[in-house]
């Protein structure tokens, strides 16, 4: 018997047979008969590998992220376009933020640019039996992935959408920083001022910060004027005189105990004030970002319309809506509600082999974590009771209760998130505000249509 064919030759034969099959189909698949430029992106430079329509390597070149090197790469690609009679498709891996410069450069130069998810590009890393991992090989594999998968062109975000996405992500990061420094403030107060957290549940709140600026240690609080302390609490917390007097009395009681059992240090006041300054600086930056987000949304008609449509859904406010719009982009990219749910990472994974079929399948969580956090809060809001005992969305609340009877509460909550994803898709697809309907009413309208 003859020797077995190398795995790479088998792979190339499979790709070429796929190309021949698609050539008989024609139509939209004719785009595979163009040169493909695979780009492996790194921080300072990238590797370029260009394949001819019959998968021969036409060019290997490094692209340094400067104007001279990038213009040279553009010139080479245009020369290949003249040689092959078709403009190359540029394929690159999504690599943090490093691919954005090349994406914008080649898009502005008129090339079709496809950005590949690293999960997809990583699927070809074991195509060779030998363990080879370098930039030249990675660029070649990315180009071959386009041949095998016939990937869709990437969405080209508008300047407004890109700006909105960056602002919402920065806001999310700063809110995480605020939470971390509030935890640090709590840790300091647990040592310096035991019992303070029992008076103010949120030690980083406006009233608590005003008190700590005035009296950062138990000793200073005991020496402060009680009526002035109560006034500061009222004004900062936007509460009545009774609230301020009660909080001031509790603080004095806690300070008397903390003066005895608290950890004493000459730097206590400085530690508290430093953390307060950081928290207030972060909060000021978040407020500035939120103003810029509102201005950006109002300046773009499409974004403004999408946000208003999403705000019509119970449980989704302005802040949540802008995160969803920024991360999702144009709804026309998704042909089915399932695709949008998968983009959000709400689709279940699947484990099956032979006769085995996994039953405990978890969410893929391959989409935007920011959107999942927003949908989780919207789901909690939708199924929680208002002060008057009603629900914001009684249909989803009833669905949640039915699911809770069969599944754990967290699983039922994820099911509500999936329902919200479907609602988002329908509202943006139809360009109509949300209307609350029971499943029976919805089916009756579909039957009448």
Distance (Å, rounded) from C-alpha 357 to C-alpha 348?
A: 14
Predicted confidence (pLDDT) per residue in 423-447, tens digit: 999 999 999 999 888 878 778 877 7
Contact 87, 74 (CB under 8 A): no
Cβ contact 168:323 at 8 Å: yes
Chain centre distance of CA 261:
45
Q: Cβ distance 331 to 129 under 8 Å?
A: no
Q: Say how far apart CA 125 and CA 127 lie, in whole Å.
A: 6
Over 90: is that where the pLDDT of 286 sits? yes
- Please state the rounded mean pLDDT for residues 259-275: 91
447 or 334, which is more confident?
334
Residue 52 is given by DSSP the state -
Q: How far, in Å, CA of 396 to CA of 434, rounded?
A: 13
Angstrom distance (rounded) from CA 50 to CA 73: 11
Strand 36-41 to 89-93 pairing: parallel
- DSSP class of residue 274 equals H
Whether residue 219 contacts residue 272, with contact meaning beta carbons closer than 8 Å, is answered with no
For 113, list phi and psi in degrees, rounded to 5.
-115, 130
pLDDT of 27 > 50? The answer is no
Dihedral of alpha carbons 66, 69, 72, 76, sign: negative
Distances (CA, A) of 131 to 41, 125, 144: 20, 9, 18
H helices then E strands: how many in the chain?
19, 7
- Residue 31, pLDDT > 70, answer no
- Average pLDDT (285-293) is 96
Q: What is the pLDDT of residues 225-239, one digit of tens each?
A: 989 999 999 999 888
Other beta carbons within 10 Å of 276: 20
What would the two tokens of residue 440 be? 């029976």
Question: Environment class of residue 86 by beta-carbon count within 10 Å: exposed (0-12), middle (13-18) or buried (19+)?
Answer: middle
- The alpha carbons of the chain give a radius of gyration, in whole angstroms, of 29
Name which of 55-59, 188-192, 362-366 the model is least confident about.
Answer: 362-366
Rounded Cα distance between 42 and 32, Å, is 26
pLDDT averaged over every residue in the chain: 84
Helix/strand/coil for 200: coil
Alpha-carbon gap, residue 165 to 205, rounded angstroms: 28
pLDDT at residue number 193: 93
pLDDT at 276: 95
Q: 231: which 2 tokens? A: 């006034």
Interhelix angle 409-430/301-311, rounded to 10 degrees, is 140
SS3 labels along 57-82: EEEEEEEECCHHHHHHHHHHHHHHHH
Output 56 or 439, whichever has higher pLDDT. 56
Highest mean pLDDT pick, 41-55, 85-99, 166-180? 166-180
CB-based contacts of 40, cutoff 8 Å, min separation 6: 46, 47, 49, 92, 93, 135, 136, 138, 139, 142
In residues, how long is the chain? 449
> According to the model, what pLDDT value does residue 17 have?
52
């Amino acid at each position: 018997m003859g020797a077995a064919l190398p795995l790479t030759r088998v792979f190339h034969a499979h790709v070429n047979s796929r190309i021949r099959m698609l050539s008989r189909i024609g139509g939209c698949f004719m785009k595979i008969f163009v040169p493909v430029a695979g780009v492996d992106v790194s921080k300072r430079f990238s590797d370029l590998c260009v394949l001819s329509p019959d998968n021969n390597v036409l060019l290997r070149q490094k692209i340094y992220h400067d104007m001279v090197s990038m213009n040279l790469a553009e010139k080479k690609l245009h020369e290949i376009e003249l040689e092959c009679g078709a403009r190359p498709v540029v394929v690159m891996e999504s690599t943090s933020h490093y691919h954005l410069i090349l994406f914008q450069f080649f898009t502005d130069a008129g090339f079709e640019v496809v950005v590949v998810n690293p999960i997809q590009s990583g699927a070809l890393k074991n195509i060779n039996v030998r363990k080879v991992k370098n930039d030249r090989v990675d660029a070649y594999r990315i180009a071959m992935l386009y041949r095998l998968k016939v990937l869709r062109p990437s969405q080209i975000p508008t300047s407004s959408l890109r700006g909105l996405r960056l602002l919402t992500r920065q806001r999310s990061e700063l809110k995480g920083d605020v939470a971390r420094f509030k935890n640090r403030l709590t840790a300091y107060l647990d040592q310096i001022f035991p019992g303070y957290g029992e008076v103010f549940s949120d030690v980083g709140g406006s009233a608590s910060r005003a008190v700590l600026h005035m009296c950062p240690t138990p000793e200073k609080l005991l020496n402060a004027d009680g009526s002035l302390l109560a006034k500061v609490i009222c004004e900062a917390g936007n509460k009545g005189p009774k609230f301020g007097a009660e909080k001031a009395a509790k603080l004095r009681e806690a300070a008397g105990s903390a003066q005895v059992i608290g950890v004493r240090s000459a730097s206590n006041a400085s530690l508290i004030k430093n953390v307060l300054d950081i928290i207030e600086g972060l909060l000021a930056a978040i407020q500035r970002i939120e103003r810029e987000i509102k201005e950006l949304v109002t300046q773009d008609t499409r974004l403004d319309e999408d946000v208003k449509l999403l705000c019509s859904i119970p449980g989704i406010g302005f802040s949540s809506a802008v995160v969803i719009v920024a991360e999702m982009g144009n709804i026309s990219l998704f042909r089915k509600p399932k695709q949008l749910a998968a983009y959000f990472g709400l689709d279940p994974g699947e484990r099956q082999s032979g006769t085995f079929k996994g039953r405990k399948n978890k969410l893929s969580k391959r989409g935007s974590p920011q959107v999942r956090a927003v949908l989780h809060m919207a789901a909690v809001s939708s199924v929680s009771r208002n002060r008057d005992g009603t629900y914001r969305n009684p249909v989803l609340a009833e669905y949640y209760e039915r699911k809770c009877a069969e599944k754990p509460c967290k699983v039922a909550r994820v099911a509500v998130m999936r329902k919200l994803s479907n609602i988002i898709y329908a509202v943006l697809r139809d360009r109509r505000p949300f209307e609350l309907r029971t499943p029976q009413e919805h089916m009756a309208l579909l039957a009448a249509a």
